[in-house]
Amino acid sequence: MGFLQQLVVSLCIIVAVTSKSFRQLDSAKSELEEYIANKKTDINPRFRLHYHVVPPVGWMNDPNGFSFYKGEYHLFYQFYPYESAWGPMHWGHVSSPNLVDWKQLPTALIPEEEMCFSGSAVIDGDDLVLMYTGRLTTDTEPFFNETQFLAYSSDGINFEKYEGNPVLPAAPNGSPDFRDPKVWKHGDHWYVVIGSRTEDERGNVLLYRSLDMKSWEFLSVIGESKGNMGYMWECPDFFELDGKFVLLMSPQGMEPQGDRYKNTHQTGFIIGSFNYETFEFVPEVEFQEIDYGHDFYATQTMEKDGKRYVIGWFNMWDVPYPEDVDGWAGALTMVRELRLVGERVLMKPIEEMVSLREHSIIDGALEPNGVIELQKTGEIIVNGDLSQNIELLIEGSNGGGKVWLRWDPAVGKVVVDRGSDDVRQVEWEPIGSHSWRIFLDASSLELFCGEGEVVFSSRVYPDGDWVVTNLSAQALDVEAFHLRRSVPE
């Protein structure tokens, strides 16, 4: 057979195999969407959130692929539809015109030979491009390897995996822990940061660049634990904010230090300077937690119209998930806007959150022992005299989970106490506003202090509706609103 004939036959075989593969994948996606539609009818709604992104069924963890494409915000997430526990990772998918009203879209990625671990999304020409970690099983210890994959979409809904995957098959030191790529463009090059670890078990972040996102050049280690910041740095993000560069990541394995680092794993930032000629990040402000609550991890940011937005997984590893018996588990926080003030990254609710307010419940004084009765959702703005103690009890109308919010002027700390010594607390020095802004959903609490100097995100599981009681000795100036539903029921 001549060369030309051989080439034609080979191309026909490749086309036939590829077509069969695409048909199988399309069939698998159709079957999955049918399963989700049927399974949704079994969900118990008692703890189901009303204005936070949650999985339609099954398990959710890290947010992925936060981006803006063809007039809408897109947000993906780690997803296992078949149980309300972690399993072979898919990518769930939602979109929004305004970052508060979300609609469910078909599952974007399903695992084949690889599990579809976390990653990011960028726009390249007319395409929405996903870069994600493909976790592959191996025959030798540790029996897995993490590599980087690409997937493309021309409509923001249907994605095809790149035939040349993986585009980054291994970490420079061969570490199997090599995950969570976050991509951005600067000049003519694409850049990506990836979380990894050293041979002696210290977390680090690796920097690469590429002209086409397919062939990558290793540039530098832009951050690394000196031995006191954990064994693995997950979900790194690197961006410029108000004239400085911020390395945002989730270290695993940090030891508790007093009030700090009390969660299973942490999320925080290092502020510094970066040079695109030398590829060196020089820290100027050491690691700080970005959220002090019980349930905040694996953040991802994106920029639009000069604003830097962030969202996180609204849970934590290795803790109880009371909703898992209801057919689902996991949530994402509300979107926040980031600002840099001095040596601190501040988080505030995005302006669009006010569009969720439906009607006012109270606007005025809440006397000592006064009570606010809410439904499943609410926003509460609290002002009090910070020279005196402030204490609010937030609980279910029929019992269940409860939480105390306190301000102690003697030590200058804000406290979020879920009972049974399950406490998170931190010093607060207001730089402007002295208000607390509290967001309650069916099983969650987010507390923003002042200008966002201190933020707590914690899951709380009440029975019934919310009831808020002023346990302070002083009257508090309070506004409270009912918030409408903005995610699918």
Q: Mind telling me the catalytic residues?
A: 62
Distance, CA of 239 to CA of 247 (rounded, Å): 7
